[in-house]
Structure 1
Amino acid sequence: MTVLENRELTVLDPRTDEVVGRVPIASPERCDEAVSSARRAAAGWARTPAAERGAALHAAAAAVRAAADELAALNARETGKPVDDARGGVDAGIGTLVQYAELGPVHRGRSLHGGWDATDLMVPEPRGVVAVLTPWNDPVAVAAGLIGAALATGNTVVHKPSERCPQTGRRFAELVAAHLPPGVLEIVDGDGAVGARLAEAEVDVVAHVGSTATGRAIAEACARTGARALLENGGNDALVVDADIDPEWAAAQAALGAFANAGQICVSVERIYVHACLADAFLDALVREAEQWRERIGPLVDRAHRGHVHGHVEAALGGGARALTGGAVPDGPGAFYPPTVLIGCVPHMSVMRDETFGPVAPVRVVPDFATALQEAGADRYGLAATVLTSDMAHAQRAWRELPVGTVKVNDVFGGAPGGASQPRGASGSGFGFGPELLDEMTAVKVVHLAPAPGPA
């Protein structure tokens, strides 16, 4: 939990409520200074050969690897994430830095087939200064992606970590910055006001992973300044369980999607549609899974967020839903919340309509696959969805029809390394991760080289 006091962030351990640290909030002057410093460094970093930029990222990845246990422990204390999960996020971040260290020097340009006596090129160039605003739920992995792609393509960066894990974010960025020239990676700490200041500053890109409300405010700011907005925002990811699936296996997939990291993953399962013929067996198995997950998950990030999650559950219960397990705030310190399974959910409930971002599995029983697909797609968000089915025609129909950036079939957290995502609707815009993120960080210049005429 983070408390704002006298221009200082006080971070509390969400397991114990003990103070983890206090971090000064950057002043408006410090924000402006960081942007100016990055701007001064931009030309030199853009001229640095791509292979040298890649070598710097390789060195940074090695430094993060050496500090991986430190970063994981700090992340666990600030956000309550289990240490093993936090270490997994650090390892993912290391892999991403290495990926962009390799991809940066081969980032694509094109030659065009024009006249024989001329040369025509399309050349990617860095956009300039990138403000990177990162979340608390996977702070190292997300920052590594956005910062790594920006640096690999010759941009400079001003990074603001989430106020809920400022020490983790700063430590990671410091490890990377130590292998870069001065000004290439600036770090500022603070709350939403600091992020808003950066979004309004003279930057060329604002890359943000976080809530839809903040993303919309950033998009408005970028519309005024002309900066490019790169946004991965909220999600309300659906899970569809078809009639031909083993209900025990489906329940295990649903529990993993809904309860891992206490439901605080960008692509967590937020709502479940199960075929009526499987409903009883699936729900029995899902309750058993939830009770097993009870001892395996950590707390929510803070008590304020727990209040948000429980508010969704209470509203659903008040609207006629029923909790088969969980659904109550436990006694004791910290921000713990039990894995919760809700039945009797209907589309207008906030737990089905909005992002809960907690260990809650709201289930809606549907008569057929077509209804499940229709209701899963009737949503303002567009991040991801999962379909569990043995019917190839249903799988094909699902990925064709669901209006989301990523569709996973029979694997709730599946995906190959290097894959990108392109959220839709209220979930944001632009590619995240993969080679396509390098395209987002660059602008293409068309060059036509023709010979000058000879002497008259």
Structure 2
Amino acid sequence: MTTMHAIDVHSPRDSQLVGWLPTATPSEVSSALSTARSAFPGWAATPAAERGAALREAAAALRERANDLATVVETETGRPFASAREGVMAGVSTLEQYAELGPVHRGRSLLGSAVDFMVPEPRGLVVALTPWNDPVAVACGLLGAALVTGNVVVHKPSERCPHTGLLLATVLRPHFPAGVLQTLVGDGEVGSALVRSPDVDLVAHVGSTATGRAIARTSSAKLLLENGGNDPLLVDDDVDPAWAASQAALGAFTNAGQLCTSVERIYLHKAIATPFLEALCARAREWNTDPQPLVDTRHREFVHEQVSSALAAGASALVGGSVPDGPGAFYPATVLADCGSAMRVMCEETFGPVAPVQLVSSFEEGLTEACTGDYGLAATVLTASMENAQRAWRELPVGTVKVNAVFGGAPGGAAQPRGASGTGFGYGPELLDEMTTTKVVHLGVPRTRS
């Protein structure tokens, strides 16, 4: 890490300067880590019920400031206010969940000739590196689970939404002792300085695979990584094509395709290709009547490069596929037909509002294609066949398989990515296990003096 510089944030809607913030200096990074380490013994010794109560108060404060947070998220990332507020409220719910679950997080005991206690203990100093696409919800999950189990946290939000990260810190920090929760503004240099520190016990990172791999090369801490995905959608020939197209559009275009579990590639049975593509194009045109921008023009360039590469390789843009005129970072919902397995848009993460479709002649062929690639985050299967559904969830090498719904899940659900998509549980009750380590106490019977 060299020296401090400023981060400029421009509106993805009109390209105007939102504001700028100085990045943390090397001495500020060092001070934050030292302060957190000093605060750890006291916070770890705080009764679990008191830690849960503090988190509950923080959740209540966040609820009161939900509109303020949503406004800043919209300003920095372009996510519409209503959707941004949903993300904030998801963060509130997550904090409330961990406030309840944390105090009852427990170990096990084994009874033999002696007694073994397996006791969960906090890991220590957690560095949390969080993304821009759902900045409040993701941060609340990592921060909440870490804090309620007795860890101290240094949080670096994405440089694409630093004002959001600072406002979140302003809301949450007063409910914890000094030094327990700190937030640093910074880019990759600051993040790199944090994860390289030998004082750090756990690094929790949600973001790109490239950054996750860099962290794995340089950090000696336990790693909790949720990284990129190239989630397939497999459409069988026995489902209603209009319904399937609605699911595909929802998965590919929601939040302009900027969700970790967005639909990234579609394998469509050719028997229903015509009605499916007609319906998908209609849905895409509907989305384009009220478009949402990508986070910035740099990301738009990346998305368009993948689309252009596919078109050059023989794909057809049925809807969208071009950069619109005017300010901001808008990109249309795009439907690509005639896609092939070797195209970048089918084998890399696009993270934009693009629905690339590859035709397959059978469910088996589509499943084989869906099982390819280095990523292992999630996959969706649309089928009326229980046999095909059973086969798909057993064979797909991903952490989450969704059958007949691109989004959704039970409250308190958890997932564990595979391959290039990361490692460890990133949310749900199981995240409490990730944030703790187990101490085994072997309690034998002493021999007393006669």
Q: What's the counterpart of residue 131 of structure 2? A: 135
Q: Distance in 2 between matches of 1:259 and 1:186?
A: 35
- Alignment partner for residue 254 of structure 2, among 247, 251, 260? 260
Question: What is the CA-CA distance between 1:6 and the residue it aligns to?
Answer: 6.9
Q: Distance in 2 between matches of 1:206 and 1:108?
A: 23
- Alignment partner for residue 49 of structure 1, among 26, 47, 50? 47
Q: Distance in 1 between matches of 2:394 and 2:13?
A: 43
Q: Distance in 2 between matches of 1:15 and 1:6?
A: 28
Q: Distance in 1 between matches of 2:391 and 2:109?
A: 38
SS of the residue 2:175 aligns to: coil
- Alignment partner for residue 179 of structure 1, among 175, 181, 186? 175
SS of the residue 2:169 aligns to: helix
Q: What's the counterpart of residue 388 of structure 1? A: 382
Question: What is the CA-CA distance between 1:297 and the residue it aligns to?
Answer: 3.4
Q: Distance in 2 between matches of 1:24 and 1:322?
A: 44
Q: What's the counterpart of residue 121 of structure 1? A: 117
Q: Distance in 2 between matches of 1:293 and 1:102?
A: 39
**Contact 1:261–1:297 (CA under 8 A) maintained in structure 2:** no
Q: What's the counterpart of residue 349 of structure 2? A: 355
Question: What is the CA-CA distance between 1:24 and the residue it aligns to?
Answer: 0.9
- Alignment partner for residue 204 of structure 1, among 201, 204, 208? 201
Q: Kindly tell me: are residues 53 and 230 of structure 1, through their superposed partners in 2, closer, same or farther at Cα, counting changes over 3 Å? A: same
**Contact 2:234–2:380 (CA under 8 A) maintained in structure 1:** yes
Question: What is the CA-CA distance between 1:295 and the residue it aligns to?
Answer: 2.4
**Contact 1:260–1:297 (CA under 8 A) maintained in structure 2:** no
Q: What's the counterpart of residue 307 of structure 1? A: 301
TM-score normalised by structure 1 residue count: 0.97
**Contact 1:82–1:297 (CA under 8 A) maintained in structure 2:** no
**Contact 1:14–1:299 (CA under 8 A) maintained in structure 2:** yes
Matched residue type, 1:150: A
SS of the residue 1:266 aligns to: coil
SS of the residue 1:455 aligns to: coil
SS of the residue 1:434 aligns to: coil
**Contact 2:4–2:23 (CA under 8 A) maintained in structure 1:** no
Which of 14-23 and 315-324 deviates more?
14-23
Q: Structure 1: which 5+ residue stretches go unaligned?
A: none
SS of the residue 1:193 aligns to: helix
Q: Distance in 1 between matches of 2:443 and 2:170?
A: 42
**Contact 2:44–2:151 (CA under 8 A) maintained in structure 1:** yes
Q: What's the counterpart of residue 28 of structure 1? A: 26
Q: What's the counterpart of residue 148 of structure 2? A: 152
Q: Does 1:289 align with 2:283?
A: yes
Q: Distance in 1 between matches of 2:128 and 2:280?
A: 38
SS of the residue 1:433 aligns to: coil
Q: What's the counterpart of residue 161 of structure 2? A: 165
Q: What's the counterpart of residue 330 of structure 1? A: 324
Q: Does 1:277 align with 2:271?
A: yes
Q: Distance in 2 between matches of 1:173 and 1:127?
A: 22
Q: Does 1:379 align with 2:377?
A: no
Give aligned-pair identity as a percent: 63
Matched residue type, 1:428: G
Q: Structure 2: which 5+ residue stretches go unaligned?
A: none
Question: What is the CA-CA distance between 1:113 and the residue it aligns to?
Answer: 1.5
**Contact 2:4–2:24 (CA under 8 A) maintained in structure 1:** no
Q: After the TM superposition, which parts of structure 1 deviate over 4 Å for at least 4 consecutive aligned residues? A: none
Matched residue type, 2:210: A
Q: What's the counterpart of residue 87 of structure 1? A: 85
Matched residue type, 2:192: A
1:91-123 deviations in Å (ceiling 9; x for gaps): 1000000000000011121011121xx332000
**Contact 2:235–2:267 (CA under 8 A) maintained in structure 1:** yes
Q: Does 1:434 align with 2:432?
A: no
Q: Kindly tell me: are residues 36 and 6 of structure 1, through their superposed partners in 2, closer, same or farther at Cα, counting changes over 3 Å? A: closer
Question: What is the CA-CA distance between 1:453 and the residue it aligns to?
Answer: 1.3
Question: What is the CA-CA distance between 1:19 and the residue it aligns to?
Answer: 1.1
* Equivalent residues, number: 447
SS of the residue 2:154 aligns to: strand
Q: Distance in 2 between matches of 1:446 and 1:17?
A: 56
Matched residue type, 2:173: A
Matched residue type, 2:75: R
**Contact 2:267–2:357 (CA under 8 A) maintained in structure 1:** yes
- Alignment partner for residue 215 of structure 2, among 215, 218, 221? 218
Question: What is the CA-CA distance between 1:432 and the residue it aligns to?
Answer: 1.1
Q: What's the counterpart of residue 335 of structure 2? A: 341
Question: What is the CA-CA distance between 1:29 and the residue it aligns to?
Answer: 1.1
- Alignment partner for residue 366 of structure 1, among 360, 378, 403? 360
Q: Distance in 2 between matches of 1:397 and 1:382?
A: 17
SS of the residue 1:407 aligns to: strand
